[in-house]
Amino acid sequence: MLFFPNAKINIGLNILNRRDDGFHDIETLMIPVGLCDSLEFIKAKEFLFSSSGIVLDVNSANNICTKAYEILKKSYPLTLLSMHLHKAIPTGAGLGGGSADAAFLLKNLNNYFNLNISNIELQNFAKVLGSDCPFFIKNKPSLAFGRGEILETFDIDLSNYKIVIVHLGIHVNTAWAYKNSKPDSSRSTLKSILTSQPIANWKNTIYNDFENIIFPLYPEIKELKDKMYNLGAIYASMTGSGSAVFGIFEENKIDFTEHFSCFVWQGKTIN
């Protein structure tokens, strides 16, 4: 079975407070985008995991796909599989690629073995693997709360815009970024801004709190965001804990590949 886990971007990311369990409460809007990995599995005589494309910084036993298979196998009679992941979504970029791989694997194992696991149950399995993983079970634009696992589907239409995603090859450690964050729960909620203001206002009202931590350390990421605005972006931001940056552009004749090594996506709903 072959499938294509897609990335996500975050529009706004408010870090609200530190929790007693070591995590942070956040508020963010996550939107699936068309940049994809490819993941395939077949039945085998022994469990195997291999990968190609972007080099992963973990061995096969600790890869999140292996963990997703093992967590499901504890509750359901899965046969042994050989899996291959071709990695195209940059790692340490805030694009959720690893989380997507794990969530899509859970969904497709459910279908392949006719396990009849509900989406709610799949999300419960997914949240053990990572805070972003439950989002990719439904894979629809969603407001995320808690540590990212509490989801509320949000109706947003970006089909008239182009989303340009650029990654400079800088790897940001999410745990480090959260550790150095300064939570603030006193602001207007992201939901209230999104439901009351047009995209043209987002530049001055919607922020990613991780930028305050990452930009001083990597000024080239801020320069990239500034360049997107200079090229006419309506809104630009780092996504997640970084380091990828995206810009939302109206339809225009800019050849973005002249300015960036980038992925350009027409903002249509992912099916």
Q: What are the residue ranges of helices labelled H in the chain?
A: 64-73, 97-112, 119-129, 135-138, 174-179, 190-196, 199-202, 211-217, 219-230
Give the dihedral sign, CA 193/144/27/168: negative
CATH of the domain at 216: 3.30.70.890
Round the average pLDDT of the chain to a whole number and report it.
Answer: 93
Low-confidence ranges of the chain (pLDDT < 50): none
Confidence (pLDDT) at 74: 96
Query: In the Cβ-directed half-sphere of 8, how many Cα atoms lie within 13 Å?
Result: 30
Confidence (pLDDT) at 39: 98
User: Quick one: tokens of 133?
Assistant: 């993983």
8 catalytic per annotation: yes
Q: Over the stretch 98-127, which tens digit does the pLDDT of each residue have?
A: 999 999 999 999 999 999 999 999 999 999
Confidence (pLDDT) at 258: 80
Confidence (pLDDT) at 17: 95
Confidence (pLDDT) at 253: 67
Residue 30 main-chain phi, psi, to 5 deg: -105, 135
Total domains in the fold of the chain? 2
Catalytic residue among 37, 87, 101, 132: 132
**Same domain assignment for residues 110 and 164:** no
What pTM, to 2 d.p., does this model score? 0.94
Q: How deeply is 204 buried, as exposed, middle or buried, from its count of CB atoms within 10 A (0-12, 13-18, 19+)?
A: exposed
Confidence (pLDDT) at 266: 75
Rounded CA-CA distance 38/88 in Å is 8
253 catalytic per annotation: no
Give the dihedral sign, CA 125/101/244/263: negative
Q: What residues make up the domain containing 110?
A: 2-152
**Same domain assignment for residues 191 and 256:** yes
**Same domain assignment for residues 38 and 120:** yes
**Same domain assignment for residues 139 and 160:** no
The residue out of 107, 123, 152 marking a domain boundary is: 152
